[in-house]
Amino acid sequence: MECRGSIPYGLLAGLPVVGVFIVAFFSNTLMGIVVYEGVKLLKSWLLRYPKLRNYYENYVRNALRRFKQYEMGVAVSLAIFVGIPLPGTGAFTGAVVAEALEVKRPLAWASLAAGVLIACTVVTLITWSAMQIAR
């Protein structure tokens, strides 16, 4: 489960804040990386078929060439996208977007980790603050 669900659950269950944060960060980052690599494998498998490969090379790859000059901006945007703690903006979606935009592996992994760190921090602070107010 993403940090948006695991951190509130862990804190409400009475677990230590630091432990919940660390487990949520590492597990969410690892799952994002697994999804990224899985989508990469699926894409390579699908591109074995000539019709899909022709479509990909004619349309998608040409569109992606424009993004190559802005690769660092795409990586920062990806980290911000993953870091926003709203439904549909987590590490799973970010991993699919990173692979779709062909962000290089080290940059994609770093962007996913940075985004998850932002999301975990925001969710932890909101949950902890709400628990303090509710006392």
Nearest in space to 85 (alpha carbons), one of 28, 37, 36, 131: 28
Q: pLDDT tens, 48-94? A: 998 888 888 777 777 777 777 788 888 999 999 999 988 888 899 99
The type of residue at 40 is K
- The answer for residues whose C-beta is within 8 angstroms of residue 29's C-beta and 6 or more apart is 91, 112, 113, 116
Decide if 23 contacts 10 (C-beta within 8 A): yes
Question: Which region among 20-29, 32-41, 68-77, 92-101 has the lowest average model confidence (pLDDT)?
Answer: 68-77
Question: Cα–Cα distance between 55 and 61 in angstroms, integer?
Answer: 9
Reported confidence tier of residue 119, pLDDT bands at 50, 70, 90: very high
Residue 122 pLDDT exceeds 90? yes
What are the residue ranges spanned by the domains of the chain?
Answer: 3-134
